[in-house]
A = this chain, B = another copy of it.
Amino acid sequence: MERMPKKQRHQQLARLIEDNPFLTDRELTRLLKVSIQTIRLDRLELAIPELRERLKLMAERSYDPVRSLPLHEVIGDILDLQLDKSGISMFEIRDEHVFSRSGIARGHHVFAQANSLAVAVINDEIALTASADIRFIRPARLGEKCIAKAYVRSSGVQKGKAKVEVFTYVGDEMVFQGNFVIYRSAGSADEEGAGEA
């Protein structure tokens, strides 16, 4: 019946909920061997909301992006954006982006950052990647922050095709470079051999 120190229990509680937000107080009771009242006091002290509030928050986070601006559809955080001119985004390489054996980021994540920035920088209703020519200069590693800079080389508003060049850096080292051709709606009817983004 030995009691675990309160601090330790708090840590456990926080960890349990963090990696399973769907736990009810009753289930936590079983896991931590304390009364439900204690669980609730603990949540109170740790400012952890009740199950329903947690789920609601998660739902909101996953819902917001759907209706809000295409900025949310960008991989990475937009740091600067001048439509039809240039843009900068930051993307931190996390566990889920790397090969576990080597800690090296999988290429499509680095590509995704560059691609979505290239699309975001185009000032149009619909913009789709038509083609791209890309080079991975050196590997990006776990924990590194990738700064992608996109420059619109030719906005092609009337032609319906824009050219965007993207460079991605970690510190002052370039890790990726890509030339993107982006289809833009630009009042024109629709695709026709058009691509995606």
Contacts and interface: CB of A to CB of B under 8 A. Distances in A.
Given A62-B62, A108-B112, A108-B115, A194 B138 contact: yes
20 contacts: A21-B63, A22-B56, A56-B59, A58-B62, A61-B62, A67-B100, A73-B99, A104-B126, A104-B196, A105-B196, A106-B196, A107-B115, A107-B132, A107-B197, A108-B112, A108-B197, A129-B136, A131-B134, A131-B136, A132-B133
Dominant secondary structure of chain A at its interface with chain B: mixed
A151 interface: no
Interface of A: 19, 21-22, 52, 54-56, 58-63, 66-67, 69-70, 72-73, 75, 95-97, 99-102, 104-108, 110-112, 115-116, 119, 125-126, 128-140, 175, 191, 193-197
Given A97-B70, A108-B108, A112-B112, A194 B139 contact: yes
